[in-house]
Amino acid sequence: MTQSLAVTVLGHDRPGIIAEVTGALAALGGNLEDSSMTLLRGHFAWTLVVATDAGAPAVREALRHIEAEGLVVSVLPVPEAADTGAPGSAWLLSVHGADRPGIVSGLTGVVAEAGGNITDLTTRLGTGLYVVVAEVTLPAGADVAALADRLAAVADELGVRASLAPADSDVL
């Protein structure tokens, strides 16, 4: 029976990690459904969802050699997602300013209060500049103008600038 498994791989980056993991999954008949990978200060961080007839123990065993190389691997079943109703509208929240604690929690809290869901989040600390880019899904009927005003007020309190703009549709 095909099931979805969440696989995470974390550790010091080196060439070939993605090829090794996907090769092991393909050998088990696994199909990569969703994935997000990034480097965080020289460390590899990858989360993926794979559909496979192999169970979590078989996938974990197939990736054991990766762990022997110093990477941390986890494999967990992904329960079927509940129908969340109307998909809502897609928005992009951008934040720029001097780094300080509380920026992400403060602004994402405002989005949550409006019923919004963060679907992707990237943060970067550069030389004197902290940048946040978040993809946000807002429920149908959300008061976007009120949310933008509230985000601007909280951003001002945090000493950063925030903007909320409609997201472009994915085009493949």
**Residue 119, φ and ψ in degrees, nearest 5:** -105, -15
CA atoms of 40 and 124, how far apart (whole Å):
9
Residue 51: name the closest of 80, 17, 10 by CA. Answer: 80
Is residue 23 over pLDDT 60?
yes
- The per-residue pLDDT for range 46-91, each reduced to its tens digit, is 999 999 999 999 999 999 999 999 999 999 999 887 666 667 899 9
d(CA 65, CA 62) in angstroms, rounded, equals: 7
Q: What integer pLDDT is reported at residue 84 of this predicted model? A: 60
Mean pLDDT over the full length of the chain: 93
Phi and psi, residue 163, nearest 5°: -135, 145
pTM of the complete model beyond 0.85 = no
Provide the pairing of β-strand 72-77 with 89-97.
Answer: unpaired
Give the closest residue to 106 by CA, choosing from 162, 53, 32, 40. Answer: 162
pLDDT digits (tens, 9 = 90+) for 130-148: 999 999 999 999 999 999 9
**Domains along the chain with CATH numbers:** 3-77 (3.30.70.260), 89-166 (3.30.70.260)
Predicted confidence (pLDDT) at residue 171 exceeds the cutoff of 80: no
**Residue 170 in this model has a pLDDT that exceeds 70:** no
- Check residue 172 and give its pLDDT: 46
